[in-house]
Amino acid sequence: MRYTITREQIKELAAQLDPSTRLFTSADGQEYEKLIARWADNAVRQAGVVAVPVAYEEVSKLVKFASDNKLEITVRGGGHSTGGCSSSEGGLVIDLSGMRNVSVDKDSKLITAQGGALWEDVDNAAIEKGLATVGGTVNHTGIGGLTLGGGLGWLTGLYGTVVDNLVSAKVVIANGSLLTASENENTDLFWAIRGAGHNFGVTVEFTLQGHDQTNEVYAGGVVFTPDKLIAIIDTLNAKMKSPDPKAGIILVFASPPTMPGPVVVANVFYNGDQAAAEECFDSLFKLGPVVNTAKMMPYNHVNGLFNAMATHGRRKSIKAITLTDHVDAEFVQELFDNYAQKMKENPDLAMTFMGIEFYDVTKLNSVPIESMAFANRGLYRAGIIGLEWTDAQKDLENRAWGRSIQDKCRQRIIDSNQYSPETTKTALEYANYIEPGDLVDKRPFGINQRRLEILKQKFDPDCLFHKTTPVVPLKN
C-alpha cells in the first residue's frame, strides 16, 4: 500500500534536499497550479507536493524518501498521459521540467538528453549538427514516456523504434541508486527499460543514436473526401507490399471546423527531395485530394505538424488500436462510419481523431522480440484514437466508445488467426497508447512478460513505480 505525503514529511524531505530542488504545495498558488497542469485537463490531480530537481542526485534523494516512507510517487516529463499516470492525488510528484538540457556529439553522432526534455529540444539540438533520431510526432511530448514505452515516429522505417536507438540511460531505481544502463553496464536493467521503463525507475538521462539528416524532408497533410477511403486503403496496401523505408503515412479521420463533416487526411512524410517524394506518393495524389499542404521543410519542423490537433487543455483519452498488416478496407470503412456517426451524435467530440500508421516495419521487425522488453513487433499496423471533449459528465461514456473500437479491432485480428493472446510472442496494443483500465493482454509485454516480472522483483519488489502498464513482481 502507498500513502499520501503529510505536512510533517514534506518538512522532513525539504531538510534532506539541496536548496536547488524546489518543493511546491497548494499553498504556493499559481506556481503549484502550473506544475500540476497536464496536457489533458482530466489528468490533473492535486499533488501533496511537487518536487522540481535540477540534479540527478536530488532525484535519488526523492525516490529513496518515497521508498522508505511507502509514499505514492509519480514522475512528470511532458505530462501527456491522459490516464493520469504523470499525476498523483496527494502524493509526491517528481517534475523533471528543470532538466531539459540536450547535448550532441557530431563525431560519435550521440544525442544525450536529460529526462525532462521534450522532443522539440532533441530535434532542434540534433539538426544543428546535421543529425536526427527517431522521435515523437508531436514535439511537445516528453522524451521519457515515449522512449520508455518503445517510441514510433516518422524515421521508424529507416531506424526502427526510439528504444532501438537508445544507447544508454541513467536510471534512479527504487532504492535511490543512480545506475547507468547499457549493453555493457546493468544489462538486465537496460533490457527492461527498453519498452517497460516506466516500471523500473526514474530515467534522468537518455543517450540516443543520431543519424545523418542534412537534407530537408517532404511532409504535410493531404485531405480527401470520405468517398475516397476504400481507394486510399487499397493504394496504401499496394504501397506496403514493397514499402520505402524513407516514407511514412499516418491516415487520420478528423472533423476540421473548415469542412462540412469528417474527412480523411493522409499525412505524408518522405526523407528525400520533392521529386522523389511526389513519385513515391503519385498513386495517392492521383485519387484527387481536395487539399494538399505537403511541401519541403527542415526535419525538425516535421514533428510540429500535429501540434495543432494536440493542443493542451480540454478532456482527453488515448486508445490503442491495431490492424492487420494488410488492412481490410471494408473494415476501415466500418470504423470511419462509426466515427462519423459518433461525431454527429456528440458534437462535443468534434476534435476527436482516429489514426492508422503506415510505416515500413522491416527494420522494426529485424530486431528479435526477446532482445528487449518492447513487445510491439510483428506484421501489424499501429493505430490510435484520440478522444477530446469538454463535458466531464461524459467521461465514462466517451472512454467506453473508444474501448469499443479498440475491442472491435482486437477481435478482428484474433478472428483472422493472425494473433492469439495465449501463444503469440508479440503484444497487440502499443503500450504508449494504452490507458489504465483499457483492454489489454494478460501479457501486455508478450513473451517478455515473465522476465520482466523477475526483474521487477529485483529492482522494485514493492512496486514503487506502478503507474504505466504495471508489471507485478514474480515472487520466489
Whole-structure pTM value? 0.97
CA dist 383 and 253 (Å) reads 11
Rounded mean pLDDT of the chain? Answer: 96
**Predicted pLDDT at 33:** 98
Domains plus CATH for the chain?
7-97 (3.30.43.10), 102-213 (3.30.465.10), 217-433 (3.40.462.20)
CA dist 439 and 420 (Å) reads 15
Q: What is the mean pLDDT of residues 337-361?
A: 97
* Helix axes of 449-459 and 187-196: crossing angle, nearest 10 degrees: 120
DSSP codes, 31-56: HHHHHH--SSGGG----SEEEE-SSH
Q: Which set of grid coordinates corresponds to residue 54?
A: 535540477
pLDDT digits (tens, 9 = 90+) for 84-132: 999 999 999 999 999 999 999 999 999 999 999 999 999 999 999 999 9
Q: What is the mean pLDDT of residues 49-75?
A: 98
Parallel, antiparallel or unpaired: strands 131-132 and 247-254: unpaired
In the predicted model, is pLDDT for residue 437 greater than 90? no
**Predicted pLDDT at 475:** 79
Q: What is the mean pLDDT of residues 413-434?
A: 89
**Predicted pLDDT at 439:** 67
In the predicted model, is pLDDT for residue 441 greater than 80? no
Spacing of C-alpha 365 from chain mean position: 19
**Predicted pLDDT at 303:** 97
Q: What is the mean pLDDT of residues 30-57?
A: 98
**Predicted pLDDT at 431:** 82
Q: What is the mean pLDDT of residues 447-470?
A: 96
CA dist 318 and 426 (Å) reads 21
pLDDT tier, 331 (very low <50, low <70, confident <90, very high otherwise): very high
In the predicted model, is pLDDT for residue 476 greater than 70? no
Q: What is the mean pLDDT of residues 5-21?
A: 98
pLDDT tier, 432 (very low <50, low <70, confident <90, very high otherwise): confident
